[in-house]
Structure 1
């Protein structure tokens, strides 16, 4: 099992001269398994294991043998010479019977060939990117397709693979490059007469770019939520019924429920699929003053979960309201502890009156959801309220152009540089204007992978499996 050892000892995936191989199908027994090979040694590997090189782009039934001529399997072989291949390199595949032992024997045989090694995680896709087969944001979309758990996540990832954000941002970047070229002419020929309409023309183009980026950013939050899932935090005092509500929404007992206050110390996370959207519920420690270091840490994490949530279910014990007769004071005090801006659109805060099965009579001046997670009373109505809040966040549910925080930050950086550029007079300070435009173009280039992304590659491709 030398190839496994080599993988875990670590391999420099930038060695493009090496030929890589990996199992492209899930490990385990199946009808078929596929082993893929990419690099200059792909043709040599096919010849050594099958005795021939198939005609390009045609599957050929073959006998696959080890280097001593011992037959391993009868299967299909595929040959795709560069550049017309998934990676842009010479590329081959073996389609074998899906017995794990057959796959191990073939990969051990491949490892015996000079300059062949097991691929690192995501290395096939990385080579496709480096050879111009995909833009960087398309590789991210491919990763999102693999990781999609819901219909909405899959739909958005497919949309970004087919029509990547970089198609739009590269158009903008080329416009900036054209503007920079025009400014370079001004700098080089400073003594020449400057067109009278130059400033107005440049400002008009900058305004168009700023407007286009702003429109795309307006949809960014929705796209990130669709990809990452709707985060719902259950917040409230100790023993307010948060854990019982979490279990009721999840349909299973994920959280420990007890009448003892402070039972929940750490965040309990449960992921659901609600109408095709990923939803992540977080049960949190109750908010109160405590001398316990463990409980203090739990409360700190509760506040962090609330700040990061898209929706907060603010759980208020109906018994407290019944005994104190003041729902508003409970709401106000918890809201103040959360430290959230009441005027902000996010997170969406939904007050929930809990334990209504043991409350005799409460009169509320507002139509807050009232439930008993124990008996199911009011749960259907609460689910409708949650779904309405999700609709508020997700809008039409159509795929958004921006689906990753990296893309959003790059667009914000570009926007800031363009706004700064508008403050510069192109006649008096063309060098400063050109510098702002250069920063803006670099920010856009990072989305497609055209510039300044080497430090991102390891992070992006490490999320792929070894055979991808």
Structure 2
């Protein structure tokens, strides 16, 4: 196997830059660079020498095989963070036989292949690298810590026990079986089903935490939607004017709200129009509003509905409170009146929704869990038809177990790896 290397830190100028080396020749490379190996897992100051002389003075750390992130022998070089130093060391490493630059995500892929991480943990690591908010960080760390793999292991153990009990009745069909195993088998299956149902019901929220909640601002033209968006964003994100129809497409602003990722959508003003381009914008506005997690309606009067049916969770506010004093539930993006109350409302609503998040966070997880649920339903059905259907029930349970194995990458993983690791940076 090749020994790989890559920068594990950013490529801009910094105080410290880290280069990681992993593979069977990592220790030998360190010997040639600095002449002696430090005590494993203890940072040591060393001079790094190349073919043309001194490269840098660096802290070096050696991780022995089986005690590193990848499971292989790993060396980390903590260099002075100039681009010239990093380039010189990378050029020197490129001159070694059997050393090559790592592919994107290759360090993590080796960690998976060496069973240092399961597939769900790999996905959690990718999410942690991409995390922008506190909620994303916490969710990613939970998955990276192995929460989903631990849960899947427990479900798998229960299903294996259930399948073994059924197999026992098949193996000893001509003999007297001392007890009826059906009640225990049914209890084991329904227990796993209940756990999976809880996780499946929270995946949508988990995906929203990972990808971001959407809040759509809806109203008639020139009602103050863009001004409100700018007030929420704290900058001029959308063009505002006194002319109706200025916003003709959906304007998006990403923000951190109570640690949650939120995209605020400023939609085109909803009205009847003969302008073809504006009409396209209005249809897009209606479509995005329908898919948004929360809709904020700016109303000019109590009778406004914009042809959109209000649903639970919609926020209805009277627009332009700066022009209409003493209106209840009013807001003005221009003066800021009511904006903090709206932010508080959104924060409470989205925090309440995020409380039901699952430890499963991706569509792939949903599909694997649904496959397991379907097979368990079939197993219970076969059991209900009597002992002569035991073989079919056992096979359905084996199918459910394979689905849970796919959840953490035990099986059916090869077709996923290229897509997953393509999102990683080179040094991870």
Residue 314 of structure 2 is aligned to residue 349 of structure 1: yes
- Conserved 8 A contact 2:162-2:189: no
Correspondence for 1:467:
427
> 3-state SS of the aligned residue for 1:335?
coil
Correspondence for 2:307:
333
Correspondence for 1:358:
323
What is the distance in 2 between the residues matched to 1:143 and 1:159?
13
The 1:441/1:308 distance shift into structure 2, 3 A limit, reads farther
What is the distance in 2 between the residues matched to 1:166 and 1:440?
15
The 1:105/1:372 distance shift into structure 2, 3 A limit, reads same
Correspondence for 1:407:
365
Residue 413 of structure 2 is aligned to residue 430 of structure 1: no
- Conserved 8 A contact 2:165-2:181: no
Which stretch of the first structure deviates more once superposed, 112-121 or 427-436?
427-436
Correspondence for 2:69:
86
Q: Deviations over 1:128-160 (max 9, x none)?
A: 111111122222222222222222222232233
Correspondence for 1:70:
53
> 3-state SS of the aligned residue for 2:237?
coil
Correspondence for 2:229:
246
Question: What is the CA distance between 1:296 and its match in structure 2?
Answer: 4.3
Aligned partner of 2:17 among 11, 30, 33: 33
Correspondence for 1:21:
5
Residue 32 of structure 2 is aligned to residue 48 of structure 1: yes
- Conserved 8 A contact 1:23-1:33: yes
Question: What is the CA distance between 1:359 and its match in structure 2?
Answer: 4.4
- Conserved 8 A contact 1:170-1:448: no
Question: What is the CA distance between 1:77 and its match in structure 2?
Answer: 2.5
Question: What is the CA distance between 1:253 and its match in structure 2?
Answer: 0.9
- Conserved 8 A contact 2:24-2:72: yes
Consecutive unaligned residues of structure 2, counting only runs of 5 or more, are none
- Normalised by the length of structure 2, the TM-score is 0.90
- Conserved 8 A contact 1:236-1:334: no
What is the distance in 2 between the residues matched to 1:435 and 1:312?
47
The 1:266/1:192 distance shift into structure 2, 3 A limit, reads farther
Cα RMSD (Å) of the superposition?
2.6
The 1:453/1:296 distance shift into structure 2, 3 A limit, reads farther
Question: What is the CA distance between 1:193 and its match in structure 2?
Answer: 4.7
> Within 5 Å, which residues of 2 pair with 1:48-447?
48-66=32-50, 68-187=51-170, 190-193=173-176, 197-290=180-273, 292-316=275-299, 318=300, 321=301, 327-328=302-303, 330-331=304-305, 333-335=307-309, 342=311, 348-359=313-324, 369-395=329-355, 400-425=358-383, 427-447=387-407
Question: What is the CA distance between 1:305 and its match in structure 2?
Answer: 1.9
What is the distance in 1 between the residues matched to 2:276 and 2:367?
36
What is the distance in 2 between the residues matched to 1:173 and 1:334?
47
> 3-state SS of the aligned residue for 2:316?
strand
What is the distance in 1 between the residues matched to 2:241 and 2:396?
59
Which stretch of the first structure deviates more once superposed, 150-159 or 183-192?
183-192
Question: What is the CA distance between 1:456 and its match in structure 2?
Answer: 2.1
Question: What is the CA distance between 1:290 and its match in structure 2?
Answer: 4.7
Q: Deviations over 1:65-117 (max 9, x none)?
A: 22x25221122332223122110012112222111111111111111212211
Q: Deviations over 1:378-399 (max 9, x none)?
A: 3233233323322432349xx7
What is the distance in 2 between the residues matched to 1:240 and 1:141?
42
**Number of residue pairs matched?**
426
The 1:175/1:361 distance shift into structure 2, 3 A limit, reads closer
- Conserved 8 A contact 2:198-2:358: no
- Conserved 8 A contact 2:159-2:188: no
Question: What is the CA distance between 1:433 and its match in structure 2?
Answer: 1.9
- Conserved 8 A contact 1:331-1:351: no
The 1:303/1:180 distance shift into structure 2, 3 A limit, reads farther
What is the distance in 2 between the residues matched to 1:428 and 1:291?
69
What is the distance in 1 between the residues matched to 2:221 and 2:116?
55
What is the distance in 1 between the residues matched to 2:77 and 2:189?
53
What is the distance in 1 between the residues matched to 2:284 and 2:377?
37
Consecutive unaligned residues of structure 1, counting only runs of 5 or more, are 1-16, 322-326, 337-341
The 1:299/1:421 distance shift into structure 2, 3 A limit, reads farther
Which stretch of the first structure deviates more once superposed, 280-289 or 191-200?
191-200
> 3-state SS of the aligned residue for 1:156?
helix
